[in-house]
């Protein structure tokens, strides 16, 4: 049975998402679009609304349906029904709303389920595509005073800032289309496109003025060249290999800081005002001296920094930990393995405007434990003053 190409489309506004769906359908006219929207309820699961759209006469009539439940379960059943239909489309475009956390959601969709069956029986994974309205993106990437909750398939996440949600949406995409109409949006588009190229060095980034259907990269219209579930797991892993884009454009640049000593939490807090100056986005992981067994993730977007414990470091004598992580992380751990420290290391990528790489690295290097402090041993490190995790695990 031939496989159906299943691509995923999102946008930072309903208009951006709709425009991108139109572009994909223009390039692939016999495809079916399955648009999803969520209506949150005060408690429990949301109402999941689905809308079908296609040119085939047998599916031309728009079908609107709503159901309450886990979004991944409902959408998977829709996709399986389409895959089993006698008149199957050659491609399906799954259009997801802003408040679905796309990467964990699609990973959950593709997970094998004994009771309901696997999407892999009918589908082959296509790329994740995102469309961006520049002015909305710039407003969101600096918004740290409003929080949103995103569904990952089964549950709603802890609240994150709009800045974090905006950054994450473009970071998980294979292709990003930046809308560039006349006026203010058009003037912002080149700078926003440059910023997105630094936030996501893997993605193809194109601009679209809206006058004609945009020419999407050929990779946006065919199956992905990687193992999708393995790659998606790797992108969600708290210890990921950083992708840093060289050079600057429109003033936007990136800086990678990497260090092998533990970080003193008190001195790290003192370094933030210097290290984060001009930074729009920072992400990576830390080895905090007073939490030596835990990976601490670093996520900053706008003026907001979030540090979270995200599981243990890999240990040579604990094979079960290695089996639970992505192949990319296992490979990276082997590359960077130290006979004494093991996998432990600090890696953070900073992206922003007119960044001073030396200033950032010097400020963070000053927060590392000195050789003398290392010699005092772990018992001494554990007592380090910690302004980040005093009351909870979120700054």
CA dist., res. 310 & res. 4, Å (int)? 36
CA dist., res. 115 & res. 199, Å (int)? 39
CA dist., res. 126 & res. 382, Å (int)? 47
* Structure token pair of residue 351: 């992206």
pTM for this predicted structure? 0.88
How many CB atoms within 10 Å of residue 216?
21
91-95/160-161 β-pairing? unpaired
For CA atoms 395, 166, 169, 52, the dihedral sign is positive
327's enclosing H/E stretch is helix 327-336
Task: Print pLDDT tens along the chain (395 aa).
Answer: 568 999 999 999 999 999 899 889 888 888 899 999 988 888 888 889 998 887 555 554 435 578 888 899 899 989 998 888 888 888 999 999 988 899 999 999 998 876 667 898 899 999 999 999 999 999 999 998 888 888 888 888 788 899 999 999 999 999 999 988 776 666 888 999 999 999 998 889 988 877 666 677 787 888 988 888 888 888 888 898 777 888 888 889 999 999 999 999 999 999 999 999 999 999 999 999 999 999 999 999 988 999 999 999 999 989 999 998 988 899 999 998 998 899 999 999 999 999 999 999 999 999 999 999 888 888 888 877 888 886 444 44
How far is CA 268 from each of CA 143, 347, 353, rounded to the nearest angstrom?
Answer: 24, 14, 22
CA 210-213-216 angle, to 5 degrees, is 110
């Amino acid at each position: 049975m031939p496989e159906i190409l299943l691509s995923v489309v999102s946008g930072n506004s309903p208009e951006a998402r709709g425009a991108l769906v139109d572009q994909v359908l223009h390039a692939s006219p016999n495809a079916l679009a399955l648009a999803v929207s969520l209506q949150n309820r005060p408690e429990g699961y949301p109402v999941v609304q689905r809308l079908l759209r296609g040119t085939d006469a047998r599916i031309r009539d728009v079908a609107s349906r709503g159901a309450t439940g886990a979004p991944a379960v409902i959408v998977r059943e829709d996709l399986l029904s389409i895959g089993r239909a006698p008149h199957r489309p050659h491609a399906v475009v799954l259009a997801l709303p802003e408040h679905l956390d796309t990467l964990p959601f699609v990973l959950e969709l593709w997970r094998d389920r004994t009771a309901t069956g696997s999407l892999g029986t009918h589908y082959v994974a296509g790329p994740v595509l995102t469309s961006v309205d520049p002015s909305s993106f710039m407003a969101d990437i600096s918004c740290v005073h409003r929080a949103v909750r995103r569904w990952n398939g089964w549950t709603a996440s802890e609240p994150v800032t709009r800045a974090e949600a905006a950054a994450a949406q473009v970071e998980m995409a294979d292709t990003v289309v930046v809308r560039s109409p006349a006026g203010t949006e058009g003037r912002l588009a080149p700078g926003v496109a440059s910023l997105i190229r630094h936030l996501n060095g893997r993605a193809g980034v194109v601009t679209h003025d809206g006058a004609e259907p945009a020419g999407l990269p050929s990779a946006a219209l065919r199956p992905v060249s990687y193992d999708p579930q393995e790659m998606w797991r790797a992108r969600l892993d708290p210890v990921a290999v950083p992708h840093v884009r060289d050079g600057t454009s429109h003033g936007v640049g990136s800086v990678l800081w990497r260090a092998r000593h533990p970080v003193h939490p008190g001195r790290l807090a003192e370094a933030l005002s210097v290290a984060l100056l001009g930074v729009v986005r920072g992400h990576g992981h830390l080895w905090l001296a007073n939490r030596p067994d835990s990976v601490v993730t670093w996520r900053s977007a706008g003026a907001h920094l979030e540090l979270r414990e995200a599981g243990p470091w890999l240990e040579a004598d604990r094979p079960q930990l290695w089996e639970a992580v992505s192949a990319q992380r296992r490979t990276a751990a082997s590359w960077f393995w130290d006979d004494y420290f093991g996998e432990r290391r600090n890696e953070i990528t900073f992206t922003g405007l007119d960044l001073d790489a030396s200033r950032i690295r010097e400020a963070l290097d000053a927060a590392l434990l000195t050789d003398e402090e290392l010699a005092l041993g772990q018992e001494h490190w554990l007592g380090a003053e910690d302004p980040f995790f005093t009351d909870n695990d979120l700054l």
